[in-house]
Chain A
Amino acid sequence: MLIATLRTSSRLALLAAVFALGAVLQARGILPAMATYRQDVVYLIRGHLWLAAVSGLLAILIGVPIGILLTRSRFRLAGLVLAQVVNLGTTIPTLAILALAMTVLGLGAPSAIFGLTALTLLPIVLNTAAGLRAVPRHLVEAARGMGMTPGQILWQVELPNALYVILAGIRTALAIDVGTVPLAFLIGGGGLGELIFTGIDLMEPAMLLAGAIPTALLAIAVDWLVGQAQFWLVPRGVNPLR
C-alpha cells in the first residue's frame, strides 16, 4: 500500500521534472537544436547498448560464478585471495582501468568492454557472495540431512534464497555499467559518449544533452527492467516485494 503510493508519487514527480526540463530547454531553444542530432543519437544508442549488454552479460557470467566460488568451503583460501583481487580492482579509478586496458588491448571496443566488465564485476561478485552467505546455515544442513547433493543444495536452496540479493547486485552493477559506457568513447569504444565529450569540447550544450539525456534514460530503463526481474523471478516465499 505505502510502497504503491510512493511509487505513484515518485512517478508523478519524475514526470513533472521531465516536463519542467523540457519547458526550460524549449525556452532556450536547445530542444530544437537537440533534435538535429536525432540520427546520431539513434545510431550511437545502438553502440552504447551493445557495449553495455556485452560487458554486463560478461560481468554476470563471470561475477555470479565467482561469487558462488567465494562461498564454497573447498575454495575458502582461493576465495579470500579472489575477494582481495576484486576489491583491489575497484579501488582503481574507472578511467585508470580503461587506460590500462587500452595499453594492453589497444584502442577500440575490446578494451572498452574489458574495462566496463571489470568495473561491473564487483557489485555482482560481492552481492552474490553476500546473498549466499546470508542463507541460514541450518537450511543448508537440513538440505544435506535430507539427502540433497551439493549441486541440488546450490540450485534448490542456496541460489533461490540468495536470488533477491544477487539481483540487487546486478541491478546496481548494470546501472553503473550503462552510466559509465560514455567513458568508453575516450578509448575509441563508441556509444553516446561521443556526443557528450564532443559537446563538452565544442561548448555545445545541445549536443552534450543529446548524449547525456538518453544515457540517463537508459540507466533508468535498465534499472526498471532488472527491478521487474527481481519482482517476478524471485520466489514469492523469499521476495520482500511480494
Chain B
Amino acid sequence: MARPRLPFEFLVALRFLREGRMQTALILLGVTGGVAVIVFLSQLIAQLQSTIIDRVLGSQAHVVVRPLEEVNLRARSDPASTAVIEPRAQRLRSIDQWEAIVKLAEDQPGVVAVSPVVSGPAFALRGRASKSVALLGVEPDRYRRIVKMDTYMVRGKFQVEGTNAIIGTELAKDLGVTVGDKVFLRAAGGRDELLQVTGLFDIGNKDLNRRWVFTTMKLAQSLLDLPGGVSNIDITVTDIFDASEVAARLQAGSGMTVDSWMTTNSQLLAALRNQSVSNNLIRSFVIIIVALGISSVLVVSVVQKQKEIGILRAMGTSSNRIMGVFLLQGALVGFVGALSGVGLAWALLQIFSTIYRTGDGAPIFEPQLDTGIALSAAGIALAVGVLAALIPARRAAKMDPVQAIRA
C-alpha cells in the first residue's frame, strides 16, 4: 500500500519542507544552534549560580533572628536634621521570649527547620597555644538541619553532651589535638571549662574550621553567662529565594532583628541577578534571530510555492488550511530544531564537563541536562516556530489562486 498515511496538512507541510532541501537544512541548523545556545547557557548559569549559593549557604543559616540592636538616639539641637543613630558596643544578650519565637518561626509557612544557638567569643587553650574561637552551643538534632554538619564530619559524630566539644580540623591542627584529647576553653567573661574533643569537622572553609567550637547549649549558656538564654535563632526555609519574605514576616511578628542570607549577601545576589539579566538578554536575541530566520525562509517558500498553493486551492483547499500548512511548517522546524538543539546542548555539556574541572579534578558542572530547562527551551522553539510562521502563513492564505494559476 502506497497511500500517504498523514493528514493533509502534515503531508503537504512535510513535503514542502523536504522539497526546499537547502533552505530547510539551513533553518534547522539555525534553530538547532539557537536552542543549543539557550539550553547550554541557561544550564551553565543555573549550575554555576546554584554552586555559588550552595557554597555560601553551606555554612550559613537562611534566616537568623537576633536580639534588637541597642542604639542611642541622640536628638540634634537642629530640629530640621534627622536623628543620628549611633551603634553602641554590643554586649552578649539573649533573645527575649526565645521559646515563643522558635514556636512562631516553626509555624511560619515555608520554614523547614529552626535551631536556637548560644554563641559568643572564647579562647581555646592547650599548652602554650591560645586560639580565639567562636563558641556555639546547639541542639545537634536541630542544628544539623541548618548546616549539614553530618556531611562535614571527618571524625566522630555530630553529637554533644556534658563537656563534649566538636572542633574544626584547622583548630585541631593548631592546638595539636585530636578526638579523645582535652581542650581548655575560656570565655571572654572569664568562665572556663575543660572540654573533651569528640569530633572533627571540615566545612570546606579554613576560617570556620579554625573558629567554630560546638558544645551543648547548656554548657555554652554557662560559659557565656547567658543562663537560659540564646543569642540567635537559625532558620532553614524551603525556597531560599523566599528567605527575605520569611524574614520580614518574622520580624513583624517577633519584633526582633531578623536577617536573611539575601540581605547579608546582597552584593552576591546583585551579581547573580546581573548574570541572569545578561543571560535573558542573550536568550532574547537568539530567539529573535531564530524567529527572523524561520520567518524569512518561510516567506521565500510561500513565494516559491505560489503555484502549488493555487493548485491546492483549485482542488478545494480552504485558505485556512493553506495557512495551517505553513504554520505547521514553522512548528515542525521549531520542534525538530528543538530536539536536535537539546541533543547538541547535551553533547556540549558532556564535552565541557570532561574538559573543565576544578583544581581537585571534580567537574565544574554536572553533565546532566536539566529537564525543566530543556523542556522550556523546546517549548519556546515550538512557539517561536509557529509565531514566526504567522506572517508567511497569512500571506499564503491571502494569495489569489487565479494569479498563481495564470502565471
Report whether chain A binds chain B.
no
